[in-house]
Amino acid sequence: MTYAYDERIDGPLPTHDKAAIVRDLHALMPGLELLHAKEDLRPFECDGLSAYRITPMLVALPASIGEVQALLRYAHARGVPVVARGAGTGLSGGALPLEKGILLVMSRFNRIVEIDPEACTARVQPGVRNLAISQAAAPHGLYYAPDPSSQIACSIGGNVAENAGGVHCLKYGLTVHNILRVEIVTIDGERLTLGSEALDSPGFDLLALITGSEGMLGVVTEVTVKLLTKPQSAKVLLASFDDIEKAGDAVARIIGAGVIPGGLEMMDNLAIRAAEDFIHAGYPVDAEALLLCEVDGAESDVAEDCERVACLLRDAGATDIRLATNEAERQRFWAGRKNAFPAVGRISPDYYCMDGTIPRRELSRVLRGIADLSAEYGLRVANVFHAGDGNMHPLILFDANTPGETERAEAIGARILELCVAVGGSITGEHGVGREKINQMCAQFNSDELTFFHAVKAAFDPAGLLNPGKNVPTLHRCAEFGSMHVHHGALPHPELERF
């Protein structure tokens, strides 16, 4: 349905008058559900990263693209900021609401529009759960490859916003490698289609630009994803090590030998013990580190690769190597890894999940650095990561009820990310920047680069109304952070500061 816009409501609100906005939106879209009572807003105060909490001014739950367009047109005319939210499983504060803004919740867009087994594609709305795509495609012998640990709950729209990955991204890629087309609505209510169902589309690669843009450029309303044929065979080897550096060396040997596993994951002793106590996956609790290596493909190729990988693991110093004997054991091995985050939550009142990426050759150096920082700050760190592509997830354990521990956890997290940058890595691999890592963007990029990012933002959203204050810091913030000087004292796009 298309909603006629009332020109009489144009013009910014001097103060974001909640009652006036609710009245206007109800008049404009009588069927739009709005939550504005304090008790109704509480569940939306944070995403999966619960270190930050902000109560939104109001929550909108549209059920049609027409409602999304009308709401964004209204916000654009009134100068009201909007934050889009999916399932709320994000881990960087990317969906953190604003006290003077509208939280646009897309959870009602939860329909799988079409499964095309011949084209190996699926058209889905943004509120569809990641795992639900594979479940719907399974009768056709197909599946959707990116599998974040939160795949049972996370939505595909959020996956696009954060460019999510998962334990199988080493071989099969991130979200950006597994989507063909995305439909978005811009802040002024225009519908855009980026990409196509063909192998390529003309013009600039705006599909890649929107993937990982964290809701700053547009609101996702539909996604066309690639589906893959289920491998004929998949086998998992579990290797134990008495030294975490040996496990890191094993990773380098496997990749260096030309074997590209479907998944190659590492956990340290603290994470191993937590996961085993929770899942009973059969993990070796006395090991200093373990590697999970999955190879998939044709039956004969998998058998050959398993033998090669086992030899490489032994040469790297593995103390024990186990091959999952059946599909149930394979699933248990992966269940331990995929539940590592909640498992760690059972041994600590709180934990802070980081997300940095490093060159594989620097793995041992960074792990030593994390151990040193753990000792310096007096906080335990459990290491869980996608070892094959260098994407680390240090989990910093703390107790928010102990004075000073939250601040120490944030400080050590910042130091870990800066260490990743120092060795040639990145401050994020798949969780996004959001609010959590915005200061570390100042360490990752120089002022010219950040100015360019703001120019891209301004091309889509000149007034800076979509998810302001996230992802890309202003140069003023970076000057305060102490890592760069503002050019000539000028701030590009100062309108982005006001929220």
Q: Give the per-residue pLDDT at 4.
A: 56
- Same domain? For 118 and 220 the reply is yes
Please tell me the pTM assigned to this model: 0.91
Distances (CA, A) of 1 to 26, 27, 67, 70, 384: 15, 15, 8, 10, 47
Last residue of a domain, one of 184, 206, 229: 229
Residue 432 covered by a domain: no
**pLDDT tier at 492, thresholds 50, 70, 90:** very low
pLDDT in tens, 242-260: 999 899 899 999 999 999 9
Residue 435 covered by a domain: no
Whole-angstrom distance, CA of residue 432 vs CA of residue 416: 16
- Same domain? For 240 and 215 the reply is no
Quick one: residue 150, left, alpha or beta (phi over 0 = left, psi -120 to 50 = alpha)?
alpha
- Same domain? For 167 and 214 the reply is yes
Among 64-68, 80-84, 237-241, 479-483, the minimum mean pLDDT is found in: 479-483
Output the six-digit token pair for 499: 């929220």
Residue 161 covered by a domain: yes
Q: Give the per-residue pLDDT at 490.
A: 37
Distances (CA, A) of 256 to 319, 364, 420: 21, 16, 22
Output the six-digit token pair for 245: 């550096």
Q: Is the dihedral of CA 160, 163, 169, 171 positive or negative?
A: positive
User: Stretch 266-273: mean pLDDT, rounded?
Assistant: 97
Q: Give the per-residue pLDDT at 12.
A: 55
For residue 487, pLDDT beyond 90: no
98: CATH: 3.30.43.10
Last residue of a domain, one of 229, 251, 269: 229
- Same domain? For 270 and 187 the reply is no
Output the six-digit token pair for 463: 């007034």
Residue 427 covered by a domain: no
Q: Give the per-residue pLDDT at 13.
A: 52
- 396 by DSSP, 3-state: which? strand
Q: Give the per-residue pLDDT at 482.
A: 66
For residue 496, pLDDT beyond 80: no
**pLDDT tier at 70, thresholds 50, 70, 90:** very high
- 140 by DSSP, 3-state: which? helix
- Same domain? For 144 and 187 the reply is yes
Residue 429 covered by a domain: no
For residue 11, pLDDT beyond 80: no
238: CATH: 3.30.70.2190
- Same domain? For 317 and 285 the reply is yes
Q: Give the per-residue pLDDT at 199.
A: 80
- Same domain? For 224 and 237 the reply is no
For residue 10, pLDDT beyond 80: no
For residue 75, pLDDT beyond 50: yes
- Same domain? For 327 and 354 the reply is no
Residue 430 covered by a domain: no
In which residue are the tokens 């599998």 written? 147
- Same domain? For 274 and 377 the reply is no
User: Stretch 30-52: mean pLDDT, rounded?
Assistant: 92
In which residue are the tokens 């003023």 written? 476
Last residue of a domain, one of 207, 229, 251: 229
pLDDT in tens, 437-457: 999 999 999 999 999 999 999
Number of independent structural domains in the chain: 5
pLDDT in tens, 170-213: 999 999 999 999 999 999 999 999 999 888 888 899 999 999 99
Whole-angstrom distance, CA of residue 415 vs CA of residue 371: 12
Domain range for 221 is: 112-229
Distances (CA, A) of 468 to 7, 52, 94, 282, 396: 25, 16, 10, 45, 27
User: Stretch 132-150: mean pLDDT, rounded?
Assistant: 97
Residue 428 covered by a domain: no
Q: DSSP label at 241? A: E
Q: Give the per-residue pLDDT at 19.
A: 94
Residue 433 covered by a domain: no
- Same domain? For 256 and 316 the reply is yes
Q: What is the mean pLDDT of the chain?
A: 92
Whole-angstrom distance, CA of residue 303 vs CA of residue 258: 16
For residue 7, pLDDT beyond 90: no
- Same domain? For 328 and 367 the reply is no
For residue 360, pLDDT beyond 50: yes
Q: Give the per-residue pLDDT at 97.
A: 96
151: CATH: 3.30.465.10
Contact predicate 264/300, CB 8 Å: no
